[in-house]
Amino acid sequence: MPTPEQIKSTTTDLPVWGVDNTGNTKQDGGLWLKSNATPAPTEAGYAQLYSPDGAGLRIATPNGASALLTPGPAYAAVTGAGATVTGVTAKTLLASGMTIPSGGFAAGQLYRLCAWGTVTTTAGAQTVTLETYLGGIAGTALIQLGAATVNAGGAVTGAAWLYRTEIELLTATGTAAWCDLALNFFPTSVTQQSATITNASAQQIVLAVTPSAAAVSMTCTGSYCQRVL
């Protein structure tokens, strides 16, 4: 195996490249980057190009920040129908979003989760509590709406609902999240929330619901989750 080397320009009018030839480069047809989720720290005065998953490209700077240049398949929008939650009063998975790979979070990223469907209640006092989590419904709560009545009270049958939330990465391990649309929901509280997360393992963004009564039936007929920035 060749010894790792760096090739650097000594002039200011040429690009500066750091090249690791321990399997990360090839000379026949261009520069090949081996997947590496945790590259070595970037030397002062340089920028480092790397591929965390063998598909997308990121650029890292000496201060530890990184930015996505081209997303790999892990960042593609996830779409599909969710679940029907009925006969329970426990927190239950309603819609599943995208899974962020280990080391995939970076400051400045923005994710969006949107879900819609129908809900049926048998009494005006019945509520649903919607929560967005990272790492499944037992993971880290990113945003939690207060218990919400449907259609401003009164029993409803097959009423349409729509929920959308956005999650901003303030740092690689800190988020700010808010619900920017909750059609036909009237929650007791809607505030921007912050959370401390881990960036050391793959984690899925999901939507959970907690009905106040077993008679409540809530169906997610469609959803999408994507990285916006």
Query: pLDDT-based confidence at 55, cuts 50/70/90?
Result: low
C-alpha span between 141 and 177 (Å, rounded): 10
**11-20, 35-44, 163-172: which range is least confident on average?**
11-20
Q: Does the pLDDT of residue 17 top 50, yes or no?
A: no
Domain boundary among 22, 44, 72: 72
**What pLDDT shows up at residue 25?**
46
Residue range 116-147, pLDDT digits in tens: 999 999 998 999 999 999 999 999 999 998 89
pLDDT band at 10 (very low <50, low <70, confident <90, very high): very low
Distance CA 22, CA 108 (A): 31
Same domain? 36 vs 68:
yes
Give the pLDDT of residue 37: 75
- Residues 83 and 172: their CA atoms lie apart, in Å, by 31
CA nearest 97: which of 193, 200, 226, 202?
Answer: 226
- Considering the domain architecture, whether residues 56 and 81 belong to the same structural domain is answered as no
Task: Count CB atoms within 10 A of the CB of residue 50.
Answer: 22
**pTM of the full predicted structure?**
0.72
Bridge partners (DSSP) listed for residue 148: 128, 187
Residues 6+ apart with CB under 8 A from 164: 112, 113, 114, 115, 179, 180, 181, 182
**Which one of 40, 72, 104 terminates a domain?**
72
**pLDDT per position as a tens digit, 204-223:** 999 999 999 999 999 999 99
The pLDDT score that the predictor gives to residue 210 is 97
Residues 94 and 112 in one domain: yes
pLDDT score of 185 more than 70:
yes
Q: Where are the beta strands (DSSP E) in the chain?
A: 48-50, 57-60, 66-70, 78-80, 84-86, 92-100, 110-120, 127-134, 140-144, 148-150, 159-171, 174-183, 185-187, 193-196, 203-211, 217-227
What is the C-alpha separation between 163 and 182, in angstroms, rounded?
A: 5
* Spatial contact of 118 and 220, defined as CB atoms under 8 Å apart: no
Q: What percent of the chain has pLDDT over 90?
A: 46
Q: How many CA atoms lie within 13 A of 82 on its CB side?
A: 29
Q: Give the pLDDT confidence score for residue 98 in this predicted structure.
A: 92
**pLDDT-derived band at 86, boundaries 50, 70, 90:** very high
Query: Which residue, 72, 105, 132, sits at the end of a domain?
Result: 72
Q: Based on the fold, state whether residues 28 and 103 are members of the same structural domain.
A: no
Whether 142 and 52 map to the same domain: the answer is no
pLDDT of residue 68: 67
91 & 15 share domain: no
Query: Is residue 45 domain-shared with residue 104, that is, in the same domain?
Result: no
pLDDT of res. 159: 92
Looking at the structure, tell me whether residues 82 and 177 fall in a common domain.
yes
Residues 111 and 209 in one domain: yes
82 and 17 within one domain: no
Task: Provide the number of structural domains found in the chain.
Answer: 2
Nearest of 132, 47, 8, 48 to residue 82 by alpha carbon: 132
Q: Do 133 and 200 lie in a common domain? A: yes
Q: Are residues 195 and 85 in the same domain?
A: yes
Domain that holds residue 193: 77-227
Reduced to 3 states, what is the DSSP secondary structure of residue 161? strand
